[in-house]
Structure 1
C-alpha cells in the first residue's frame, strides 16, 4: 500500500517538474536546497529567486518573436513590467537587465523612475507607460519627468479631465494613450470597468479633445482585461471589440501606432497547471493581423504589461508546523509559525491558491490537514490545495520538525501585506532572502530584511518615543486656532 507523501505526489501529478525536484527526502526549487536554507536562516522566511524574473521575461520575448515571424507581422513588440506587482529595487534591477520597459500606477512610481534614471537603469528611450487614475501629485510627477526630457513617457488617459490637467503642467508637445473601459465578465458585480473610457466614447473623445490639439498626439490605445489573457469567449470577444475601436481611430488618427494589450498571463498555481502561452500569443497576433488587413490599416506595435508573470514565480515562503490541534473527529489543524493574513494576504483576501509542498519528510506517511495562522482571526487559515480540494502533508510528529513551502508568491504579497509596517495581531514580518547565481552559476544568498522585532513595531506605534514626549511641554491647539 502506497502511504508515503512522495507516493501521493507521484500518483497525482507528473513529478519531478522543471522547477521542483527531490534530493533524497528534501525538496529543491530551481536547484535551491530549501532545507539548507531553513537551517541557515530559520523559519519563517521569504525568498526571491532573481534569475526566474529574467527567465520569464525572455520566454515572453521569444514567444512574441516567434509569433511575429510566423504571421509576417509588421509591428514591433515591447515588453513592459508593471511596477505595482513588486516595487523593490532588487526586482527592478533584475527586470531592467533585460531591455524592457515599465508601466506605472501612481505618483511615487515616478520617483522610482527618477532614481533608476540616475543610476542608469532607465534610459531616455525606455517607455514609461503611466496608468491609473491621476490626481495632482501623479500629474505633477509625470509633467516633471516629461519636462526633464523623457519623451517616451506616455500617460494613459483614464478620464475626460486628465488631458487638461496634463497640458497645464507639461511645457512642450507630448504623447498620450487612451484606456478602454472594457466590459467585465458576467460573474462580476458590475458591468464595466471603472478604469478608462467606454468603447463608444473613445472616438468622440479623440475628435473633441485631441484631434485639433496641436500640443497632444495620440500614440496608443490601451486594452486591459482584469482576469488576464485567457482562452475563453469573453477574452476573444473583448479583444475583437478593442480592435474595432483601433481600426476606426487609426483611419482618422495617423499618429496612433501602438496597441497595449494589458492584462497579464497566468502563472503556475498548481503542479497540474497547463497553459499554452505560445498558442495564445500566436492567436492574438493573428487576430490583430486579420482585423487590420480587413480594415486596410497598418498593424500596431504591440505593448504588453506583465506583472505577476514577470515576478510571481520568483517568490516563495517557508513556514514550520509548530503544533497540531485535533478540534473534532475529522479536522486536524496544523499551526504555522506565522500568519497567512500578513505574509500571503491574497490567500485571505481573494482566496488565491499557491503551490504548497513540504520541504522535508517526503518519505513519511501523509495525512489530511487544515493550516492555521498565528493570529486570533478566524479567517487566518489555508484549507485547500488547488485541484486536490484538500491539503495532504507528512504526518505531524513532535520530535520531527516539518517545514512547508508556498511557491510562486512573488507578486503583490509584500505590498498588500504592508512590508515594513504593522502586521495583524503584531505578528512579525519574516526575514527575506535574495537568491541569485554568480558568473559560474553558483547560488548566492543575501539577507534583504531581517524579521521584525518588538522595537520595530513599538516604534511605528509611537511607544518608543513616549518617555521623551512626556518630558516636553505640549501645546494643544484647535482647528480654528490653526
Structure 2
C-alpha cells in the first residue's frame, strides 16, 4: 500500500523536481541544501536566502528575451530592471547587480540605496534608475540630487500632472522622463482605473501641453504595468494593445521617445504543480510589439522590464518546527509551529498567497490531514491555502519524532511587509536569517545575517530601555 508521505507526493506531482529532492535519509534538499542539516545547525524558526537563484532567474530572462528578439529580428535592446521594493537587502542587490541589470525605485530612500551602491562601484552612470511611485518633496529632491551629480540615466516616471514641474525646477541637466499609463483594472477589481499614472486618453495631450515645446525635458519612455501581472489572458493582451496604440501615437510626434517599459509580473512557482510558459509569453509580447510598430511604420522601442518577485522570490525560504498538535474536534488537527504566519509570511494572511509547503524530514512516514497554526493569539494566524486544494497533508504528528516544515519561494516582500527588525504582532520575534552562497569551488557557504530578535530589542523599540 502507498501510505507514506513520499507516495502521496509522487502520485500527485512530477517529483523530484529541479530544486527539490529527497535523500536516502528521507530528508528534503533544496538546490542541494540539506534542509534538515541546516535546521539542526542553526535552529528554528529560520529564514534563509539562497543567492545563486537570483542570478539564475535573471540570466534565464535575459537569455529568453535575447533569443526571441533574434527570432523576430527585433532591432531594439532589452534592459532587465530589478524592482527594489521586492527586497531592499544589500545581499540581494549585490547579487542581482552582478548580472549587468538596472534598477527601478518606488520611494525616496531607494535613492539613498542607489547612492550607496554607486559609492561602492556596483551601480554606475550607465545603470538605468527608473523612478516610479507618487513623488513628493523628499523623493523629488533625491531624484534631482542624483541627476545633478551626473546620473543621466536616471529616468523619473511621471505619475501625475504636477510631478513634471516639481522635478524640472531643481534639475541642472536636461531631464529625461517617462510617463506611466493608468491602465484599466481587471473587471472583477474593486475600482475601474489604476490610481497610478495618467489615463490613456490624456497622455498625448499632456505631452503636447507640457513636454513638446520644453527644451529642458525629453520624453524617453512609456511605462505600462497591470496589477495582475503578465498572464496569457484576454485582459492582459487587450491592455498591452491599448498601450501600443498610445506609444505609436506618441512616437509619431515625439522623436525622443524610444523605450517601452512593460513593467513586471512574471509569476513564480507557488506549488509543485506550477506551470507557466515564460518563453511563449516573451515570444508573443515581442511579436505583438514588432507587428504594431511595423504596421505604423515606426521604429520598435527598447524594451524594459521591472521584475521583482521573479528576481528574488524563489531565493527565499522559511523553516519551522511543529511544537504540538491540538485536536479541537473530531475532524480538525492543528499543528502549531514555533513562530507566526502573520509576522513571518504576512502575504499568506493578508492576501491568501500560496507558497510551496513541504516537510523537511520524515518523508517515509504515514501522513494525515492537518491545519497549521501560528503562535499569536490572533484567530487569523493560520495557513491552509496550499497545493492540496485547501487541505494540508503532512507526516503524522508524533511527539517523539519532531516534524520540521519548509516554506519555499518566500523571498519577495515578506520581510518589508512584516516590518523586519521592528515590532511584531504579539511580540513574536523575527527569526534568525541565514544567507547561503556558493564559493569558487561550487561548495555551499552559510553566513549568519541576523540573529533572532530578543526581548531587549523589543523593549528598546517600545521605550522601556535606552
TM-score range, shorter chain: over 0.9
Aligned to 2:81: 80
Please state how far the C-alpha of 1:385 moved relative to its aligned partner.
Answer: 1.1
Distance of 1:227 and 1:131 partners within structure 2? 18
Matched ranges for 1:416-431 at <5 A: 416-431=417-432
Q: Give the whole-Å Cα distance in 2 for the aligned partners of 1:446 and 1:317.
A: 16
- In structure 2, what is the Cα distance between the partners aligned to 1:246 and 1:384? 40
SS of aligned partner of 1:351: coil
The C-alpha deviation readout for 1:209-254, integer Å capped at 9, x for no partner, is: 0000010000000001111100000000000000000000000000
* 1:103 matched to 2:126: no
Gaps of 5+ in 2: none
Q: Report the alpha carbon displacement of residue 78 of structure 1 after superposing the two structures with TM.
A: 0.2
Q: Conserved in 1, the CA contact under 8 Å of 2:353 and 2:385?
A: no
- Structure 2 vs 1, CA of residues 387 and 294 (structure 1 numbering), >3 Å: closer, same or farther? farther
Match of 2:336 in 1: 335
Label 1:387 to 1:257 Cα distance change in 2 as closer, same or farther (>3 A): farther
Matches of 1:119 and 1:104 in 2, distance apart? Answer: 18
Give the conservation status (yes or no) of the 8 Å contact 1:421–1:460.
yes
Contact preservation (8 Å) 1:366, 1:395: yes
**Equivalent-residue separation in structure 2 for 1:78 and 1:345 (angstroms):** 31
Backbone CA RMSD of aligned residues: 0.5
Q: Does the CA-based 8 Å contact 1:272-1:387 persist in structure 2?
A: no
Alignment partner, residue 240 of structure 2:
239
Matches within 5 A, 1:362-373: 362-373=363-374
Q: Does 1:51 align with 2:52?
A: yes
Runs of 4+ deviating beyond 2 Å: 386-389
Residue 388 of structure 1 deviates from its aligned partner by: 3.1
Partners of 2:264 and 2:50 lie apart in 1 by 24
How do 1:71-470 and structure 2 match up within 5 A?
A: 71-465=72-466
1:172 CA drift (Å): 2.0
Q: Distance in 1 between matches of 2:211 and 2:367?
A: 64
CA drift of 1:332 comes to 0.4
Alignment-derived partner of residue 3 in structure 2 = 3
Conserved? CA contact 2:222–2:259, under 8 Å: yes
**1:2, CA displacement in angstroms?**
1.2
Contact 1:227 1:263 in 2 (8 A): no
CA contact (8 A) 2:183 2:226 kept: yes
1:470 aligned residue: none
**CA separation in 2, counterparts of 1:7 and 1:80?**
41
Match of 1:371, SS state, is: strand
Displacement after TM superposition at 1:389 (Å): 2.6
- Structure 1, unpaired ranges of 5+: 466-482
Q: TM-score, normalised by structure 1?
A: 0.96
Moved more, 168-177 or 229-238: 168-177
Aligned residue pairs, count: 465
Instruction: Provide the rounded CA distance (Å) in 2 between the counterparts of 1:306 and 1:138.
Output: 22
Q: Is the 8 A contact 1:258 1:300 kept in 2?
A: yes
**1:387 offset after TM fit, Å?**
4.7
For the residue of structure 2 that corresponds to 1:262, the secondary structure is coil
8 Å CA contact retained: 2:264, 2:308:
no
For residue 169 of structure 1, report the CA deviation from its aligned partner. Answer: 1.4
Aligned partners of 1:60 and 1:172: how far apart in 2? 33
* Distance in 2 between residues matched to 1:180 and 1:245, nearest whole Å: 9
Cα gap change, 1:292 to 1:387, in 2 (>3 Å): farther
Native 8 Å contact 1:270 1:387 kept in 2: no
